[in-house]
Each structure stands twice: as structure tokens, then as C-alpha cells.
Amino acid sequence: MPLSHLALQSPLRIQLITIGDPHSITLAGLVQPLRLAGQLLGAARLQLTITGPDSISAAADLSLLVADDVPVAPANLRELIATCRQSACWGAVGTAVLWLVRAGALDGVRAALPWALYPALLGDDDDAERAILTPHLYECDGPVLTCCGGAASIDFALTLIEQIWGAALAAQLREALCIERVRAPAERQRQALQARFGMLQPKLSEAVALMEANLEEPLGADDIASLVGLSRRQLDRLFKQHLASMPSRYYLDLRLQQARRLLLESNQSIVQVGLLCGFSSGSHFSTAYGTLFGITPREQRQRRG
């Protein structure tokens, strides 16, 4: 079920199943935006429940397992997963993402695992292969939602609210919470790639580092492969296997993410932003940007206010 369809539920029942520290920033980042949304929408449209693993309900429309720095999964994890899956949308935030990966609940699903937990999967080749782990802040892959936690929980919650109830409500909440901008799901955890691939796939880490260092004048995929000592076919296979993307697509997304940051945080003109991110054609820049983010660069700049 697409997230926007959840707004048709009346009321929409969201439950956060918290395990571990009830005062963690991960949980607070989810709770505060959702509570404010509930106040503005009213109980007839949104009901938020925060519960423990022993009081989970199968009647929720959206269920999220939330844990921060909890090394051991609860004994009833499989039961929790089975109950969460009865919701239209479900998933995990923080350490709970690792639990779902190890339980095989994210097979074939794009998931945002906290970068600090990548070493915990060293040697767990089967787990790493089955789940499509990304270095992003959060992922919405069909009905399955994952977030790396920490401060990214705020961006995640506000994005869910915007996709379910629209931009106007999300803008009200950003103003109330004094948040200038919401980071997009495709923005990266700063350490995720190095933590996951620095030891296991150093060539992949090197390739991405080359891309990041050459946004204004993009390198060709063949050049990148040569510089890291791989054939083009080997490079393509590494990107597809570990990042669920091809080198050219991943490179383009990096350039567009940088463009979004510049549009929101700098005073460079739209033309200058495009050039700084490797787009010599304004129409190509606008089309590629709209394809990834759903709005044009001009509309993005206008949203900055």
C-alpha cells in the first residue's frame, strides 16, 4: 500500500514498539513530529501508540520496531515481526533494522542500516547478500520502512507525514519544530559506505570516493573502473550487488543530492548549481532533478522560502 493511501484510514493507527532506552534521540525524533501531527489532525484522523514488545497490537495500520544501542534482539522477535507484518506498512528504526536483517525479514528489501552496525555483519555473508543494505538515512521500499535512527528519525517522521497527509502539514510541523529542511531518504549516512565496504569491498569504497571527489567534472564509468583496478564488468557487478544500482545511476544520484544541498543551503544561482554538479545543460539538470526528487530545481529553491 502506498503511504499516501494510509491517509484514507480513519483514524490512522500508528504504533511504535520501543525496546531499550525510552529517552533515546531515535525514539524522540519519531514521537515529537507524530504527536504534533496528531494534535493538528485530531484523534479522529491519527492515533499514536507507544508500546513495549509485550503489548503490541495487530490492529495498527503502521508498525515500527524502535531500538537504540540494544545489542541483543528480544526473545519474541519472530512473533513481533509476524504481528508487525499484519499492518499495511511496517519496519524498523535503529538497531532493530539489524535484527530484521538477521531474522531474514528483509530479504530482497532495500534497508537503511545504521552505519555503526555494519561491522556486526562481517562474516554474515548470507544476511548481507539477502538484504539490500543501503548507506541512506532511511528507505521506503513498498510497505517496508527502515531508518538508521538518531537525528535521521526526525527527517524520517516528517517525510512519512508529508507523504501521508501532504506538504502543508509537514511545513507546519517544520516551523513548529524549528527545522529548516528535511533530509531526503537518498542522502547518505556519512560513514556508512566506509564502515560496510572499507574492509569487505575496498574497490567499491574507492570508486564511490572518486565519484564524490569529481562531481563538477564527472568521470566516465570506464575511467573509474580503470583507476580502481577493475574491469567495467566487475565494477558494474559490485554496484549492482552491494548498492542495488549501476555506477552511472549511482553517480548521477550523488550529483543530484549535492545539487539539492546547494539549492537549499547556498545562494548560487540554479545555473551555477547545475554546472557545479556536472550538468552543462539546464534542461538535462531540470529533468534529472525532477525524476529523482519529484520537483524542479526552481521549485526546490522556492520551497526554501
Taking only the tens place, the pLDDT of each residue in 154-201 is: 999 999 999 999 989 999 999 999 998 888 887 777 655 665 565 557
The pLDDT value given to residue 124: 56
Distance CA 39, CA 61 (A): 19
Domain boundaries, the chain: 3-176, 201-305
| pTM for this prediction | 0.69
CB 183 within 8 A of CB 150: no
Distance CA 245, CA 6 (A): 29
In tens digits, the chain (305 residues) has pLDDT values of 568 888 888 899 999 999 988 889 999 999 999 999 999 999 999 999 999 998 998 899 999 999 987 778 888 999 999 999 999 999 999 999 999 999 999 988 989 988 888 777 765 545 445 778 887 899 999 899 999 999 999 999 999 999 999 989 999 999 999 998 888 887 777 655 665 565 557 888 889 889 988 999 999 999 999 999 999 999 999 888 877 789 999 999 999 988 988 898 888 999 999 999 999 999 999 999 999 888 999 998 887 75
In a 10 Å sphere around its CB, with 0-12 CB exposed, 13-18 middle and 19+ buried, how is residue 232 labelled? middle
The pLDDT value given to residue 123: 56
CB 94 within 8 A of CB 26: yes
CB 13 within 8 A of CB 61: yes
Q: 201-305: what CATH class?
A: mainly alpha
Q: 264-296: per-residue pLDDT in tens?
A: 888 899 999 999 999 999 999 999 999 988 899
Q: How is domain 3-176 classified at the CATH fold level?
A: Rossmann fold (3.40.50)
Distance CA 114, CA 211 (A): 22
Please list the helix, strand and coil fractions of the chain in percent, rounded to the nearest 5, in that order. 55, 15, 35
Grid cell for residue 150? 538518531
CB 117 within 8 A of CB 98: yes
